[in-house]
Structure 1
Amino acid sequence: MSKQTLQLHSTILSIHSLDVDADIPAALLKQSLFFISKTHDELSIVCPSDFEVKSLDTEPDWQALEVVGPLGFSLTGIMANISGVLARAKISIFSISTYDTDYILIKKHTAENAISALKKEGYNVVVN
């Protein structure tokens, strides 16, 4: 099976930790790229860094590598393989999955090294 194509998004993202009962800003839903996750004890928002969120803690300066999809639910090992390449290159990730695809967030300052490592392993990386 050929390796996937990944697209590096230019939007700089921040990962926010909020109180589990915090309100989600309505304007967030108008952003072009965002992710919300909630568990019984945590609320996290990933959104463009220029969108203001009142959060308990923030981790800024991430970029998203999108696995160009859609990906079928029967496919296996995609995230394991990509994260393995990045781990061997000493690049930390924050992964997010959607219905159609996966996103691997990398720190902006590691993007060049991440792209190089992925290309060396046969992945096609498109920068937009």
Structure 2
Amino acid sequence: MTEQTSQTFTLIRHPDALAVVRLGPGSQIPKWATPSTLFSVTATATETSLVCHASTVPRKARPEGPFVAYEVAGPLDMALTGVLTSLLVPLADAGISVFVLSTFDTDWILVRGGFAEQADQAFEAAGHTVQPKGARA
């Protein structure tokens, strides 16, 4: 077993309220979902999941959320290991559930809006830095 070194990251907290929406398998992407600072589609044989701006989701779609998004400042090297572990363990220890996305350049952690302040504190207690979107280091 290899010894893990402690990693710290800068997280950018985005102000937009996001939603996670479940659609049926093979669903078309609705036009209301695309105008968002973070828009993601994940499709499997059994479902299509969307992450989009909460304000655009019609009530009949039954969204989950609102969520606050934390972007791990990147780009991150795809060879890095333990990134999500170092970020998610403090949240798990604080009893905060997450929805996680990854892009080519970085990882995104979504927490329910009511837990954002607790998430900030958990990240910072673990040595990570949380900045609001647009803040300069």
Same fold (TM over 0.5): yes
Q: How does 1:1-128 map to 2 (within 5 A)?
A: 3-53=8-58, 55=61, 57-128=62-133
The structure that is strand-richer by fraction is 1
Question: Structure 2: how far apart are the matches of 1:74 and 1:51?
Answer: 36
Q: What's the CA shift for 1:119?
A: 0.6
For the Cα contact (< 8 Å) 2:33–2:57, is it kept in 1?
Answer: no
SS at match of 1:114: helix
Cα gap change, 1:14/1:27 in structure 2, threshold over 3 Å: closer, same or farther? closer
Question: Structure 1: how far apart are the matches of 2:18 and 2:130?
Answer: 19
Could you list the per-position Cα deviations for residues 55-96 of structure 1 after superposition, in whole angstroms to 9, with x for gaps in the alignment? 3x4212101011010001100001011110100011100100
Question: Stretches of 4+ moved more than 2 A in 1?
Answer: 26-32, 52-55
Could you list the per-position Cα deviations for residues 23-80 of structure 1 after superposition, in whole angstroms to 9, with x for gaps in the alignment? 212353343221110011110001010112553x421210101101000110000101
| CA RMSD between the two structures | 1.5
For the Cα contact (< 8 Å) 2:41–2:49, is it kept in 1?
Answer: yes
Percent identity between matched residues is 35
TM-score by length of 1: 0.91
Question: Structure 2: how far apart are the matches of 1:28 and 1:47?
Answer: 6
TM-score by length of 2: 0.86
